[in-house]
Structure 1
Amino acid sequence: MGAHVAWLVRSSASNLIFTLFIILSSAVISYGEGDADALLKFKQSLVHTGALNNWDPSKSPCNGTKANWNGVLCTNGYIWGLRLENMGLSGVIDLDALARLPYLRTFSFMNNDFSSPLPDMKKLGKLKSFFLSNNRFSGEIPDNTFAGMRSLKKVYLANNNFTSKIPSSLASLPKLLLMRLDGNHFEGQIPEFQQKGLRIVNLSNNNLEGPIPQNLQKQNASFFSGNKNLCGPPLERCEAARKTEAPADTKPLKAALILLAILLGLVLLVAVIIIGIYIVKRRMNRTEHLRLQSSLGNQSNSPSPKTRTPRAATTEHAKSTKKADSMKLSFVNKEKDTFDLQDLLTASAEVLGSGSCGASYKTLIMSGEALVVKRFKQMNKVGREEFHEHMRRIGRLNHPNLLPLVAYYYRRDEKLLISDFVDNGSLASHLHGNHNAEKPALDWPTRLKIVKGVARGLLYLHNELPTLAVPHGHLKSSNVLLDQSYEPLLMDYTLAPVINTEYIHHLLVAYKSPDFVKHRQLTRKADVWSLGVIILEILTGKFPTFYLTQGNANDAELKAWVNTIARENEVFDEEMRNTMNSQAEMRKLLKIGLACCEESVESRWEMEEVVEKIEEVNSR
């Protein structure tokens, strides 16, 4: 009887759990359907929605962190953001529809064609950021438009047609960090912004007047330029500005004197016009060069790699010809075309390091996006068209194990390559850095995963660039970045065609391979040799010191490093974890690495064979 009662209790509990599961499942399904309905209602208020044709009501907008609909940003099956940029959209932004998305925290509709007044943003009270720059929004913004938006951190309304005063509700947002209102027609005085965490407030090119509030006086002066009646730090003192205003009765006399001075100046200008143009051009070129050095850091002038904010040259930059072609970034990834060179010049720059090819800097632009700017020294002999064509060629490469190029900058004596910042560091730092509980040594399955990813990325380069002697040319552990899931990303690839030939054997790893050191022979198997070195480095934890050799590596040193590994019995890195029952597979990979490091080019394996053999290795 007792057993029967116990069974009934267990059965009832099971039925209850099953019922709850059905209810929760139904709730999840209806939630997903609600998201889709909200977005489709939002789409109805838009015009020219061709870019949103894949918003299919038969599919859920999100599948985990993957979006099924264009422009939707997902996490754990929820819609947390919308990025509908450069789509030619117009119409009305239906905030009532967006308010039905409970986890929406950010949206960006930049570079579209919206021309209505700004909607009542406080309807999205939990929003953290919005980006509406480069549209045609117009009219006044009511004072209470942003009231109660206590989570709002980033407000981008630049380059629209807003008028009247800056809404005072912006000044009361407790978490505001970044605000861009530049390029509008705002007038009147600037509200008293009291937020302690404010980083950037750009109010340039409006019709603002009066003193700059004290809490904004440490902002860059360029953020207030283009407002002729603003005064106070960081601009001219208000007292000095008032003194420059002429009394009404002296204005005609001063106007006559000014006209006379202009006429005299024109006479002198005609006499020296040719010399003047030459001097101005020369100074502009020199100023731009020095500005770029101070903005992005000049390793030779920096005593230590400390964080710095390169904003000193920004004022001069704002006065120069911003539309000049020589100051434009060239984007190869159009999805990232949301910043310009001025954003880099006004961003803080942290020196990441100075390698053989040049210095690298981490910059955080105004959108909050982290980028890496790499400044190359030895590319000044490559022509403009040749450089542009090669960068476009690199930009077309697309593989999960390549760090994609975002943009580049060309001047005859200045070359910059820009990519996303990967915050998990390089393979070299994980192999040779200090390990602790927070940053343990890489285990065997992870190391094998990295080897396979590096090999696949390298094979892709060899297949996509059949005409290049060395498709990568600079493969080493410090040029392999690791994302958060420890998937490797190759960087600094395919640089040989644009590096000055007299420096190339000093800079690139492939030119330190045994075949080049001994016979000045360079083949695609130099990349195979570099891959073999990385495999041995990953398995043994030993750093190949000949990378540090300037110029050509010592042939005996190369042989000694490889031969030492080949003859040692206890060769594997002692810090490598999860090696139980994997010794046979580890030795299989070791043999592949040694085969890649064969001194004879003829005996060394082809890339396709190497990758095929690596794919056969298992973690157990």
Structure 2
Amino acid sequence: MQMEMLGQIRHENVVPLRAFYYSKDEKLLVSDFMRDGSLSALLHGSRGSGRTPLGWDNRMRIALSTARGLAHLHVSGKVIHGNIKASNILLRPEQEACISDFGLNPLFGNTTPPSRVASYRAPEVLETRKVSFKSDVYSFGVLLLELLTGKAPNQASLGEEGIDLPRWVQSVVREEWTAEVFDVELMRYHSIEEEMVQLLQIAMTCVSTAPDQRPTMPEVVRMIEEMNRVETDDGLRQSSDDPSKGSDSQTPPTESRTTPRSGTP
């Protein structure tokens, strides 16, 4: 049975399913309570004065732990998530991400989603309503763009009416205004330009229009892990979440950069 199989999945970046109730009129899932809430609330809630911005190292931690959880679903569980979005990424202390609401498409189907969900959907899913491992990769790519830009995928201010987040990012990068895509809350951090551009490149590969041009989730995990292997002389990764470091901490990335440089950021 689908729910029993989902209940057997165990991984530190997947919210464990503890119990379920299924009837014609009511369907309930019981899982662990994640007191730190969702990525959606953390990234988009209460923007403005008094808000504590989500720092770059924490965004990278969320990106990598989400990728690991999704790769586990794909490889070990043989499970297509089918509904990757920021509200389904729940957080443990220290900003470790855990994926929830996975593998439910066989039970609930893939009806026409509201706009805020459709904006995570791969083009082929919008046409066929059939999810796949590669459509999960597309949705994860949109999630990475959300972490980089600070914009919700359905945000109305992305330009022309109806434009989605991947198309908006592509249009900005095409005009060589790459710095314009990044969240203004990231501009306070010192020397993270190269990492942001690298993660942007990974995201854009994930949201390729053609499914066979997208990487697998294990490949995505490896690419993000390679970014995290920037080390200092004492073997520790340089933290970029201290905005006080460096006199140029307010300097935005070079506007025309679309490919990363070699060397340490």
**TM-score of the superposed pair, with normalisation by structure 2:** 0.74
Q: Which amino acid aligns with 2:113?
A: H
* Alpha-carbon distance change, 577 to 418 in structure 1, aligned in 2, over 3 angstroms: farther
Amino acid at match of 1:419: S
CA contact (8 A) 2:166 2:207 kept: no
Q: 1:558: Cα distance to partner?
A: 5.8
Whole-Å Cα distance in 1 between the matches of residues 61 and 120 of structure 2?
Answer: 27
For 1:397, what is the secondary structure of its paired residue? coil
Say whether residues 1:393 and 2:5 are aligned partners.
yes
Please name the residue that 2:126 is paired with. 517
Match of residue 536, structure 1, among 134, 142, 145 = 145
Offset of 1:574 from its aligned partner?
A: 1.2
Is this contact kept in 1: 2:119–2:153, CA < 8 A?
A: no
* 8 Å Cα contact 1:459-1:611 kept in structure 2: yes
Give the match for residue 601 of structure 1.
211
Aligned partner letter, 1:591: Q
- Partners of 1:459 and 1:523 in 2: how far apart? 13
Secondary structure class of the residue paired with 1:560 = helix
The Cα shift of 1:513 comes to: 1.3
Cα distance in structure 1, aligned partners of 2:120 and 2:194: 33
Equivalent position to 2:184, from 540, 555, 574: 574
Give the direction of change, closer, same or farther, for the CA distance of 1:505–1:587 in structure 2 (3 Å limit).
same
**Is residue 445–residue 578 contact of structure 1 (8 Å, CA) maintained in 2?**
no
Q: Distance between the aligned counterparts of 1:428 and 1:488, measured in 2? A: 12
1:591 to 190, 201, 208: 201
State the shift of 1:557 in Å: 3.7
Secondary structure at the aligned position of 1:575 is classed as helix
Question: Are positions 1:432 and 2:72 aligned together?
Answer: no
Across the aligned residues of Structure 1 and Structure 2, the Cα RMSD in angstroms comes to 2.8
Distance 1:504 1:574 in 2: 35
Q: Could you list the runs of 5+ residues in structure 1 that have no partner in the other structure?
A: 1-388, 548-553
**Structure 2 CA distance for aligned equivalents of residues 451 and 457 of structure 1:** 10
Q: Given the alignment, which residue of 164, 167, 170 partners 1:563?
A: 170
- Change beyond 3 A, Cα 1:522–1:409: closer
Once the two structures are TM-superposed, the CA of residue 559 in structure 1 deviates from its matched residue by: 5.4
Change (3 A) 1:481 1:522: closer
Shift of 1:522: 3.9
1:510 shift after superposition? 9.3
- Structure 1: distance between partners of 2:103 and 2:128: 22
SS for the counterpart of 1:418 is: strand
Alpha-carbon distance in structure 2 between the residues aligned to 1:511 and 1:422: 23
The aligned residue for residue 98 of structure 2 is 489
Conservation of the 8 A alpha-carbon contact between 1:566 and 1:594: no
- Give the letter for the 1:617 counterpart: M
Q: Measure how far apart 1:437 and its partner are.
A: 8.1
Distance 2:48 2:165 in 1: 31
Contact residue 510 and residue 527 of structure 1 kept, 8 A:
no
Whether contact under 8 Å (1:472, 1:493) holds in the other structure is: yes
Q: C-alpha deviations, 1:101-136, integer Å up to 9, x for none?
A: xxxxxxxxxxxxxxxxxxxxxxxxxxxxxxxxxxxx
Aligned-pair CA distance for 1:465: 3.1
Q: Using the alignment, how far apart are the partners of 2:62 and 2:222 within structure 1?
A: 15
8 Å Cα contact 1:525-1:604 kept in structure 2: yes
- In the alignment, is the contact (CA less than 8 A) between 1:482 and 1:489 conserved in 2? yes
Partner residue of 2:19 out of 388, 403, 407: 407
Gaps of 5+ in 2: 229-236, 239-265
Residue 475 of structure 1 contacts residue 509 of structure 1 at CA under 8 Å; is this kept in 2? no
What is the match of residue 461 of structure 1? 73
Contact 1:401 1:457 in 2 (8 A): yes
Distance 1:605 1:473 in 2: 17
CA distance in 2 between partners of 1:451 and 1:606 (Å): 15
Contact 2:12 2:98 in 1 (8 A): yes
Question: 1: distance between equivalents of 2:223 and 2:33?
Answer: 32
Change (3 A) 1:585 1:453: same
**Correspondence list, 1:255-274, <5 A:** none
The structural deviation recorded for 1:607 is: 1.9
3-state SS of paired residue (1:446): helix
Distance 1:542 1:564, change over 3 A: farther
Secondary structure in 1 matching 2:94: coil
1:473-497 deviation line (CA, Å, top 9, x unaligned): 1111111111222111111111111
Kindly provide the amino acid, as one letter, of the partner of residue 15 in structure 2: L
Aligned to 1:527: 136
Q: Is the 8 A contact 1:592 1:613 kept in 2?
A: yes
Provide the rounded CA distance (Å) in 2 between the counterparts of 1:514 and 1:555.
Answer: 14
Give SS of 2:66's match: helix
The residue type paired with residue 63 of structure 2 is V
Does structure 1 conserve the Cα–Cα contact (< 8 Å) formed by 2:145 and 2:203? yes
Percent identity over paired residues: 38
Counterparts of 1:608 and 1:506 in 2: how far apart (Å)?
28
Aligned partner of residue 498 in structure 1, secondary structure? helix
Distance 1:544 1:484, change over 3 A: same
CA pair 509-455 structure 1, distance change in 2 beyond 3 A: farther
Return the structure number with greater strand share.
1
Whole-angstrom CA distance in 2 between matches of 1:522 and 1:395? 21
2:13–2:97 contact (8 Å) kept in structure 1: yes
Instruction: For 1:255-294, list aligned pairs within 5 A.
Output: none
Deviations 1:550-570 (A, max 9, x none): xxxx98646533424534322
Shift of 1:512: 2.9
SS at structure 2 position matched to 1:512: coil
- Distance, in Å, in 1 between the alignment partners of 2:131 and 2:166 is 18
